[in-house]
């Protein structure tokens, strides 16, 4: 699996579909969250930058001191540029990191593949939250979702539909399987 390419493709898709939404709609509450669609973009940027910092510094026990956010008042087009930029930073860091490198994350000490998968999750689930807030149907690419489920949700039911990733994060339904009310991925590298 080429994790950096999967992260790049996911970011491109998410930025593309979010860029079609009206700027004024980003003030509304993101679906299923306590904050706005605009604040959700800040959360994505902070997460992607945080994962990059953890992996690049090979953090051992805590979040780094780096905090990143989008400048207040920017048009959504510029905010999406920030999302694309932080996704590219994580992607390039993943591509340049040796497979045996590990870094701390509160949900498990992980490798570059794990951090890339975390980035795909952040992009996918929060694009879903924003699109649902705008009553727009969007389906992520199954080619990028299935490996993430396999990598970070080893106990999840195997399902080829990308809704499995959304189910893992409490955002989707899988036939015959109870909805996830609480969830957490497992970033640790399998022994």
Instruction: Answer whether residue 183 is part of any domain.
Output: no
- Does the pTM of the predicted model rise above 0.75? yes
Q: Give pLDDT, residue 158.
A: 79
Pick out the chain residues at pLDDT < 70.
160, 191
Average pLDDT of the chain to the nearest whole number = 94
Q: Report d(CA 152, CA 42) in Å as an integer.
A: 23
Q: Report d(CA 84, CA 67) in Å as an integer.
A: 17
Instruction: Answer whether residue 32 is part of any domain.
Output: yes
Q: Report d(CA 157, CA 178) in Å as an integer.
A: 11
Give residue-wise pLDDT tens across range 50-97: 999 999 999 999 988 887 889 998 999 999 999 999 999 999 999 999
CATH code for position 134: 1.20.120.450
Instruction: Answer whether residue 190 is part of any domain.
Output: no
The number of folded domains in the chain is: 1
Tell me, rounded to whole angstroms, the distance of Cα 41 from its chain centroid: 11
Instruction: Answer whether residue 51 is part of any domain.
Output: yes
Instruction: Answer whether residue 15 is part of any domain.
Output: yes
Instruction: Answer whether residue 184 is part of any domain.
Output: no
- Quickly tell me which residue has 């973009």 as its tokens: 41
Tell me, rounded to whole angstroms, the distance of Cα 123 from its chain centroid: 3
Instruction: Answer whether residue 144 is part of any domain.
Output: yes
Q: Give pLDDT, residue 168.
A: 95
Instruction: Answer whether residue 55 is part of any domain.
Output: yes
Q: Could you tell me the CA-to-CA distances from 47 to 93, 118, 149, 157, 158 in Å, in that order? A: 14, 9, 19, 26, 26
Q: Give pLDDT, residue 94.
A: 98
Strand partners, 29: 36
Q: Give pLDDT, residue 107.
A: 96
Full residue range of the structural domain in which residue 33 is found: 3-168
Q: Give pLDDT, residue 174.
A: 86
Q: Give pLDDT, residue 54.
A: 97
Q: Give pLDDT, residue 191.
A: 62
- CB environment 36-74: b (16+ within 10 A), e (fewer): bbbbbbbbbbbbbbbbbbbbbeebeeeeeeeebebeeee
């Amino acid at each position: 699996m080429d994790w950096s390419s999967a992260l790049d493709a996911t970011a491109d898709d998410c930025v593309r579909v979010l860029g079609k939404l009206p700027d004024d709609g980003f003030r509304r509450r993101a679906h299923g969250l306590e904050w706005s669609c605009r604040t959700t973009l800040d959360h994505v940027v902070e997460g992607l930058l945080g994962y990059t910092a953890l992996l690049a510094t090979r953090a051992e026990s805590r979040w780094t001191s780096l905090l990143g956010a989008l400048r207040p008042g920017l048009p959504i087009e510029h905010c999406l540029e920030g999302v694309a930029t932080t996704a590219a930073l994580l992607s390039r860091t993943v591509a340049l990191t040796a497979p045996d490198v590990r870094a701390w994350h509160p949900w498990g000490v992980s490798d570059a593949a794990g951090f890339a998968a975390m980035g795909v999750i952040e992009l996918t689930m929060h694009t879903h939250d924003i699109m649902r807030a705008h009553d727009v149907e969007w389906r992520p690419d199954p080619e990028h979702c299935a490996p993430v489920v396999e990598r970070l949700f080893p106990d999840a039911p195997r399902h080829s539909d990308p809704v499995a990733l959304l189910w893992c994060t409490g955002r989707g339904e899988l036939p015959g399987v109870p909805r996830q009310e609480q969830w957490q991925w497992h970033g640790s590298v399998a022994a």
